[in-house]
């Protein structure tokens, strides 16, 4: 019982980060029909920024806003340099463009920044726990969950209450009609990339705090989690993406504790296989957005 509760909290903490990543992926998918395989690059680049700043003597209090800013700027830069040139292209082109961006960023970092893993000190409280009865809860998990809930509420408010949110939702529902109704495609797409970058930045803060290191291909893992979570939830659905993130986090933690010892190291492989199974039985994901065919 205690173990289950422990796992649930652990899974929620992990799932929170995935949910933020997945939401960023879903926002971009909504406006551009682009599944962004370069979504992890925001974290890779901010990781190097954090490493540099820590070496320069910055404290984590200053590094957190630095990560957010670097992440948003990276997201906007990638949009400007690559994605803005393939708007409206086929799925095939969009997917490979983002794949190419991912490779180019990591190759450039590898060649011109550093080929080795860069370690930096994590903030002291990351490893702390507090005891609630016989339950030991990580301070880190608590912070992650609280921040994620606040972020999700704020994002919901942004999407529901502001003109930008309305434009974004309209564009996600039907981009062409939204444009005809006066939504400016440039600003809504850039706004989406800024929002996506910010969400990735918040997730990135936690990711980097926990990892304590970065390397040129560090973006693959968060990218994959975000993309898979968005897919589990049902591509195109923002609520689905958040749900998918939590589902993925819980699945990982629970599987790791349930799988027999010899197989525990295969958790990730089993999760991928389960996702493939999910898609055989529920091809549209958890929240299926009906893509009505237009004739």
Partner 1 sequence: MTPNNLFPNKQRDIGFSALGALGLFALLVGGGLAYQAIVGTGSAERLITTMLIDAIIVVGIQIYVGNTGVLSFGHVGFGAIAGYAFALFAITPEEKLKRIPDAPWGLVDVSLNPWLALLLATVICLVVAVIVGVGLARSGAESGAVAATVITLALLFVTHEVARNWPDVTGGDRAGLSFAIGGSLDGRIAIYIALLAALLVARWYAQSRSGRLAVAAREDNLAARAMGVNPLVQQMAALLISVAVVSVGAGLKVYEEGSILPDNFFFNYTLLTLVMLIVGGRNGVTGAVVGVIVMTAGRELTRRLGQDGYELFGIGLDDAPLDWIFRENLQTVFLGLSMLGFMIWRPSGLLDDWELDEWLHRRLNLPKTADEQPDSLTELEDVPQANLRVSDVDVRFGGFQALSGAGLEANSGEIVGLIGPNGAGKTTLVNVITGLVEPSAGSFEVNGHDATALAPFELARGGLVRTFQNLRLFGALTVRENVEVAAMIAQQHRTDRVLRDTDALIAEAGLWPLRDRRARELDYGNSRRLELARAAALSPAFLLLDEPTSGMSDEESLAMVEQVRHMAATVGAGVLVIDHDLAFITGISDRIYVLDQGRIIADGSPTDVQANPAVQAAYLGSTADA
B/e letters for 244-253, b = 16+ CB within 10 Å, e = fewer, are: bbbbbbbbbb
Are 26 and 75 contacting, i.e. CB atoms less than 8 angstroms apart?
A: no
CB of 111 to partner 1, least distance (A): 5
Give the span between the Cα atoms of 8 and 252, in whole angstroms. Answer: 11
Site size toward partner 1 (CB under 8 A) is: 51
Q: Which of residues 189-218 bind partner 1 (CB under 8 A)?
A: 217
295 binds partner 1 (CB under 8 A): yes
Residue 102, class by beta-carbon neighbours within 10 Å (0-12 exposed, 13-18 middle, 19+ buried)? Answer: buried
Are 156 and 179 contacting, i.e. CB atoms less than 8 angstroms apart?
A: no
260 binds partner 1 (CB under 8 A): no
> What string marks each residue from 23 to 42 as x (binds partner 1 by CB under 8 A) or -?
----------x-x-------
Q: φ and ψ at 127, to 5 degrees? A: -90, -5
Q: Give the three-state DSSP class for 137.
A: strand
Residue placing its CB nearer to partner 1 in the complex, 125 or 279: 279
Residue placing its CB nearer to partner 1 in the complex, 2 or 273: 273
Residue placing its CB nearer to partner 1 in the complex, 194 or 275: 275
Are 230 and 25 contacting, i.e. CB atoms less than 8 angstroms apart?
A: yes
103 binds partner 1 (CB under 8 A): yes
Q: Which of residues 35-94 bind partner 1 (CB under 8 A)?
A: 35, 82, 85-86, 89-93
Is the C-alpha dihedral spanning 143, 149, 153, 156 positive or negative?
A: positive
Q: Terminus-to-terminus CA distance in the chain, angstroms?
A: 54
Among 142, 213, 257, 288, interactor with partner 1 by CB under 8 A = 288
CB of 9 to partner 1, least distance (A): 25
Q: Which residues bind partner 1 (CB under 8 A)?
A: 33, 35, 82, 85-86, 89-93, 95-97, 99-101, 103-105, 107-108, 110-112, 115, 217, 220, 224, 227-228, 231, 234-235, 265-266, 268-269, 272-273, 275-277, 279-280, 283-285, 288, 291, 293, 295
């Amino acid at each position: 019982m205690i173990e289950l509760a422990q796992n649930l909290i652990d899974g929620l903490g992990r799932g929170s980060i995935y949910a933020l990543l997945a939401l960023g992926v879903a926002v971009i998918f909504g406006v551009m029909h682009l599944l962004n395989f370069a979504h992890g690059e925001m974290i890779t680049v901010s990781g190097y920024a954090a490493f540099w700043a820590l070496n320069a003597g910055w404290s984590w209090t200053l590094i957190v806003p630095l990560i957010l800013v670097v992440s948003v700027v990276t997201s906007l830069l990638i949009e400007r340099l690559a994605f803005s040139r393939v708007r409206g292209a086929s799925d095939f082109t969009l997917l490979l463009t983002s794949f190419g961006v991912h490779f180019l960023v990591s190759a450039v970092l590898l060649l011109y920044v550093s080929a080795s893993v860069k370690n930096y000190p994590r903030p002291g409280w990351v490893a702390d726990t507090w005891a609630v009865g016989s339950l030991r809860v990580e301070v880190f998990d608590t912070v992650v969950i609280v921040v994620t809930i606040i972020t999700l509420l704020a994002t919901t408010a942004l999407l529901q209450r502001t003109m930008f949110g309305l434009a974004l939702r309209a564009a996600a529902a039907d981009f062409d009609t939204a444009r005809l109704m006066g939504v400016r495609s440039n600003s809504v797409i850039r706004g989406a990339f800024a929002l996506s970058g910010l969400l990735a930045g918040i997730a990135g803060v936690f990711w980097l705090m926990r990892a304590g290191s970065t390397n040129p291909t560090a973006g693959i893992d968060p990218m994959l989690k975000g993309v898979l979570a968005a897919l589990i939830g049902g591509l195109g659905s923002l609520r689905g993406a958040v749900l998918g993130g939590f589902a993925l986090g819980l699945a990982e933690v629970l599987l790791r504790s349930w799988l027999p010892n010899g197989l525990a190291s295969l958790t990730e492989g089993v999760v991928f296989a389960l996702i493939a199974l999910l898609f055989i039985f529920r091809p549209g994901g958890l929240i299926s957005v009906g893509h009505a065919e237009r004739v």
